[in-house]
Amino acid sequence: MVSELFNLTGKVALITGGSKGLGKAMARGLVEAGADVVISSRHANELKAAQAEITKGTKRRCEYMVADMSKRSNVGKLAAFALKKMGRVDILINNAGTNVPQAIDAITDAEWDRIMEINLNSVMALTRAIVPDMKKRKWGRVIHISSIMAFVSNNGRNVYSATKAALVGMARSSALDLGAFGITVNCIAPGPFLTDLPASVLSKEEQDRFAKMTALGRWADPKELVGTALLLASDAGSYITGSTFIVDGGFTAR
């Protein structure tokens, strides 16, 4: 059955940045496909609210932990929490990220280091902590949320573009490291999804400009990323690894 290819019953997913936006939408999509999930973010109140939304109308389980991905110690604690609470992590979605636009000659060391830690270093550290258990079970899915800013960019996006491009390269190498263990590693590169992050750093004029640059002429709803995430998280994507899926409404087609 085609539907069985996307069935995640019995699987556990860990999703960082899971309290809102793309992370919450993907968590809900995986729960609807049968998975139990663990979500993390920096704010307990947002996580508690998201937990209720993610599991509403289902019998699935959602646990959460407050974790600041800019702090390496928090990353290790998150991995330990997920494995202890759920007994396993089959699907890891590295979604947490941030962006502080700065021109190349205005970047501060503090912001460079903080964004690198959240967008890139924490991804390495969390993947490193979760993968050994996947290897033992000979099955796993690792998905890094990159960005079209890995391929195109905008003024002041030096640090953000650097981290998102690095995720693409890391996924390719990790796919080679882990393929023999039945683990796939891929990236999703979203384009204009109107979540809190772009809404906070883009002016209304920039938002309108981005919308017009897509083939579809609009920003995406976070729910429109769920299909791609479900493909890569399930048996339907079992022969896809080391790849990056651009989901941008045709933004990079121009």
Nearest to 232 by CA among 166, 172, 165, 184: 184
Q: For the chain, what is the radius of gyration of the CA atoms?
A: 17
Identify the residue whose tokens are 């002429």: 217
Which residues lie closer than 8 Å to 12 by C-beta, 6 or more apart?
A: 35, 36, 37, 38, 82, 86, 87, 88, 89, 90, 91
Query: What residues are labeled active site?
Result: 160
C-alpha–C-alpha distance, residues 157 and 169, integer Å? 18
d(Cα 59, Cα 241) in Å, to the nearest integer? 31
